[in-house]
Amino acid sequence: MKEQMRILLVDDESDMLELIGSFLQKQGFHTLTAQSGVEALRLLEKEPIDLVVLDIMMPDMDGFEVCHHIRQTSQIPILFLTARSYEEDRIRGLEMGADDYMMKPFSLRELAARIETMLRRIRGLSLKRSRIQIGEIEIDQDGRQVYLSQEPINVTRREFDLLHFLLLNQGQVFSREQLYQKVWGTHPSNSSFRTVDTHIKTLRLKLKEAERYIQTVWGVGYKFEEDE
According to DSSP, the β-strands at 51-55 and 6-10 are parallel
| Half-sphere exposure (Cβ direction) of 48: Cα atoms closer than 13 Å | 3
Looking at domain 2-125, its CATH architecture is 3-Layer(aba) Sandwich (3.40)
> Quick check: 143 and 132 in contact, CB under 8 A?
no
Specify the range with the lowest mean pLDDT, choosing from 2-6, 66-70, 84-88: 2-6
pLDDT digits (tens, 9 = 90+) for 173-221: 999 888 988 888 777 677 778 899 999 999 999 999 999 999 999 988 9
Instruction: Kindly report the CATH class assigned to 129-224.
Output: mainly alpha
pLDDT digits (tens, 9 = 90+) for 33-57: 999 999 999 999 888 888 999 998 8
Cis omega (within 30 of 0) on the bond before 48? no
Query: What are the domain boundaries of the chain?
Result: 2-125, 129-224
**Alpha-carbon span 94 to 111, nearest angstrom:** 17
pLDDT digits (tens, 9 = 90+) for 92-141: 777 778 888 888 888 999 999 889 888 877 665 444 447 788 889 999 88
Dihedral of CA atoms 24, 28, 32, 35 in degrees, nearest 10, equals 0
**Alpha-carbon span 204 to 184, nearest angstrom:** 19
Beta-bridge partner residues of 132: 139
